[in-house]
């Protein structure tokens, strides 16, 4: 039976996963009424139809960003970059390439430098804060293109999912512990953890987990419950933790990503290691979507989409390839106009049977923006596929431009775009 979700109206949306123990990956509103509308099917009526001159920029800027330029500066700077970046350079802005947390290997450096990856994602456990800072400076040198610097992301949730925990980084408790704290304490702690990331040269935390794990399923839920990644077993408890964590990280100038929409709390398999993972319960308008709305209202930078198939929402497509999920639910129901990012589609077993290039093109075609690719060697193939499809399909080319605009707007808000 569907449980209606009550959402707080969002007056401004910011521009603004995930991984498991031993995993290389990132993850496994304005709403006019008290429940999420379900009338329009974006498969036939897209809610964010791109045009040849996309203008779908977010309506507000996070309050705790490193820059304080007037609103027109962002649009002007982004427009300038869209004019001077080549199609291949634009496509590369949509790929988040996996690199070792201790620094790029020679092979990873070659990919990042040659492709000018728009973002990188730290894989595995890193070293000290000072070592990380040096390693991330090298990433900036390799990836910066025409005044556009990369997003540098880590899974810094806490508990078993903390990539950076060497000297200089606090050991962060699991979300199940964080969820017992007051909102003010969690916000303050998240701000402190965020300040360490910023000092280390990391500007994105692929957190917090907004998934709700029912207490009856905790021991059977491999991606979240078994790893203590949830803030609570009700939408209210999870939403409170998500909101406090996002606010703290934003106060530190760190971008965040609420994950893994529309939720991994009711599945059993972990998409990093298993294929054919299905959720037969979650519906459009489900009460368990509330924490994602809370994260958006708090100023998250991105919404991460899971690779699970939700049979009551879109039985024909995994969520990352679903226009119903991305355009209909995220951009339509939740009113999100910022960046939408995948869970890992590079090393994850769930999508291994899908050609690497298609993983990128299908996500962008469904309305998404940044593709997390934990296997650096797949980045050239993904970039090439985006370029080829954009050259062949004007509608897709407009979608790609819309995605790049959202990514560049996010980067500008966090001081990663320089315009003369």
d(CA 13, CA 16): 8
**What's the chain's length in residues?**
420
Q: Which two tokens stand for residue 236?
A: 């209210």
Kindly state whether residue 92 falls inside one of the protein's structural domains.
Answer: yes
Kindly state whether residue 127 falls inside one of the protein's structural domains.
Answer: yes
Which residues are CB-contacts of 84 (< 8 A; sequence separation ≥ 6)? Answer: 146
Structural domains of the chain, count: 1
> In this structure, how many other beta carbons lie within 10 angstroms of the beta carbon of residue 103?
19
Kindly state whether residue 252 falls inside one of the protein's structural domains.
Answer: yes
Q: Which domain holds residue 238?
A: 71-413
Kindly state whether residue 28 falls inside one of the protein's structural domains.
Answer: no
Kindly state whether residue 118 falls inside one of the protein's structural domains.
Answer: yes
- What angle, rounded to 10 degrees, do the helices at 290-298 and 235-251 form? 20
What pLDDT does residue 273 have? Answer: 84
Nearest to 397 by CA among 407, 405, 406, 387: 387
Q: Which two tokens stand for residue 252?
A: 């530190």
pTM (two decimals)? 0.84
Kindly state whether residue 216 falls inside one of the protein's structural domains.
Answer: yes
Kindly state whether residue 220 falls inside one of the protein's structural domains.
Answer: yes
Residue range 301-346, pLDDT digits in tens: 999 999 999 999 999 999 999 999 999 999 999 999 999 999 999 9
What pLDDT does residue 359 have? Answer: 98
Kindly state whether residue 281 falls inside one of the protein's structural domains.
Answer: yes
What pLDDT does residue 270 have? Answer: 86
Average pLDDT per 10 consecutive residues for the chain, totaling 420 residues = 40 37 42 32 36 35 38 72 98 98 98 98 96 98 98 98 97 98 98 98 98 96 97 97 98 98 95 91 97 98 98 98 98 97 96 97 98 98 98 98 98 93
What pLDDT does residue 4 have? Answer: 43
Q: What is the CATH number of the domain that holds 212?
A: 3.20.20.300
Strand partners, 123: 100
């Amino acid at each position: 039976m569907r449980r209606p979700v009550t959402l707080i109206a969002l007056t401004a949306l910011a521009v603004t996963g995930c991984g498991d123990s031993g995993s290389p990956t990132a993850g496994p509103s304005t709403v006019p009424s008290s429940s999420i509308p379900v009338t329009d099917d974006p498969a036939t009526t897209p809610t964010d139809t791109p045009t040849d001159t996309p203008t779908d920029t977010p309506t507000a800027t996070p309050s705790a960003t490193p820059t304080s330029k007037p609103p027109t500066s962002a649009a002007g700077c982004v427009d300038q970059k869209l004019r001077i970046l080549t199609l291949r350079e634009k496509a590369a802005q949509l790929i988040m390439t996996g690199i070792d947390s201790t620094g790029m290997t020679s092979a990873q450096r070659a990919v990042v430098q040659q492709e000018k990856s728009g973002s990188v994602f730290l894989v595995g456990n890193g070293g000290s804060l000072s070592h990380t800072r040096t390693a991330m400076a090298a990433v900036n040198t390799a990836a910066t293109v025409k005044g556009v610097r990369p997003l540098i992301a880590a899974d810094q949730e806490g508990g078993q999912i903390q990539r950076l925990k060497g000297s200089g980084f606090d050991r962060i408790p699991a979300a199940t512990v964080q969820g017992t704290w007051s909102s003010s304490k969690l916000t303050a702690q998240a701000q402190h953890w965020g300040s360490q990331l910023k000092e280390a040269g990391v500007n994105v935390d692929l957190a917090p987990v907004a998934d709700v794990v029912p207490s009856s399923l905790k021991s059977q839920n491999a991606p979240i419950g078994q790893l203590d990644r949830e803030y609570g077993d009700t939408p209210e408890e999870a939403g409170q933790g998500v909101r406090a964590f996002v606010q703290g990280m934003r106060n530190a100038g760190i971008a965040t990503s609420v994950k893994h929409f529309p939720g991994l709390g009711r599945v059993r398999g972990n998409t990093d290691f298993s294929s054919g993972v299905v959720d037969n319960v979650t519906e459009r308008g489900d009460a368990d979507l509330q924490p994602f709305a809370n994260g958006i209202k708090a100023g998250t930078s991105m919404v991460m989409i899971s690779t699970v198939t939700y049979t009551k929402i879109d039985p024909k497509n995994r969520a990352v390839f679903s226009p119903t999920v991305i355009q209909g639910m995220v951009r339509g129901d939740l009113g999100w106009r910022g960046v939408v990012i995948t869970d890992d589609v590079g090393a994850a077993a769930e999508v291994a049977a899908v050609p690497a290039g298609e993983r990128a093109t299908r996500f962008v075609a469904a309305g998404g923006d940044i593709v997390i690719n934990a296997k650096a060697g797949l980045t050239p193939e993904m970039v090439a596929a985006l370029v080829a499809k954009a050259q062949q399909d004007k509608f897709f080319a407009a979608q790609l431009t819309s995605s790049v605009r959202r990514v560049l707007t996010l980067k500008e808000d966090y001081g990663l775009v320089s315009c003369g």
